[in-house]
Amino acid sequence: MAEFQVTAQDVLDYLGYEDTPDEIVLRNINRQLPAADRFLQSAIHEDYDREDPRAKELGVMIAAELYDNRGVMSASSEARYRRIARDFMLQMRLEKREQT
């Protein structure tokens, strides 16, 4: 299986960072990358094509959304954050059901 093609720099670029981020920002973004990959594995297929540019764009979007909404502020942000959380939980329940 190929490696996840999304990097912290990809997410920073997507978010519009122009300056060098501090260590906390990088740690937070790097923490989101495995979750984004796992999300795509559950949503598409365990062995999805990680080199497909669409998969990379989705991975960047998911990681950026997770990072950007770590401190929910507005109602629309909260709704997006809750949607991702519900999707994660649903995927995990379905995967668990498939294993039994």
Give 26-85 pLDDT, tens digit per residue.
Answer: 999 999 999 999 999 988 888 888 988 989 999 999 999 888 877 655 677 778 767 887
Nearest to 8 by CA among 17, 87, 71, 91: 17
Range of the domain at 72: 8-99
The token pair that represents 54 in the structure block: 């669409």
Q: For the segment 22-38, what is each residue's pLDDT rounded down to a tens digit? A: 999 999 999 999 999 99
Count of the separate structural domains present in the chain: 1
Three-state secondary-structure class, residue 24: helix
More confident residue, 22 or 88: 22
- Radius of gyration for the chain, computed over Cα atoms and rounded to the nearest angstrom: 14
User: Considering the domain boundaries, does residue 14 fall inside one?
Assistant: yes
pLDDT at 46: 87
Q: Do the domain assignments include residue 36?
A: yes
Is 2 part of a structural domain of the chain? no
pTM, two decimal places: 0.74
